Amino acid sequence: MGMTREELPPAARAQYDAAQARRLVDVIARRKPATTPKPSKYRNVKTLRGGLLFDSKREADRWTVLRMMELSGIIFGLRRQMVIALEVKDVLVCKYIGDFAYQKDGEEVIEDVKSNFTRKNPVYRIKKKLVYACCGIKILET
């Protein structure tokens, strides 16, 4: 069995310490360098506005407009991140999360801020159709 560091003569102890330092340098060199965070899939930038965090600047801008409309009495009951359970024959198929929901002229409106690219997403398109088929609500895309 080997000797501990303290049991080694001073010259051997220095060699031991140098070997340990080289191993430590090798371990650090093998680590992956710090990288910048990966950009989001659709290049949106999370935005903080009025103490609320939004998925994109466009969504934050739309919230500001809708809040003004609510304060002026054009719409009522403005809410964010409206969750709708989409069920077919009492089986939960999926959930749809709309950006905004509110009442306008006595009707429920669900609004989603979408770019031209995300409007073409097949999963989104199916969920949009399911919301209409299951709930009778058309999603307004802005």
Distance CA 134, CA 129 (A): 9
Tens digit of pLDDT for each residue in 27-68? 777 776 667 777 877 788 889 998 999 999 999 999 999 999
pLDDT > 70? residue 77: yes
CA distances to 4, 7, 81, 119 from 107, rounded to whole Å, are: 80, 84, 18, 23
Distance of CA 56 to the CA centre of its chain: 10
Residue 1's pLDDT band (cuts 50, 70, 90)? low
Q: Would you state the pLDDT for residue 34?
A: 67
What letters, b where the CB count within 10 A reaches 16 and e where it falls short, cover 92-108? eeeebebbbbbeeeeee
Count of CA atoms in the C-beta half-sphere (13 A) of 75: 20
Give residue 58's pLDDT.
93
Which residues are registered as beta bridge partners of 102?
109
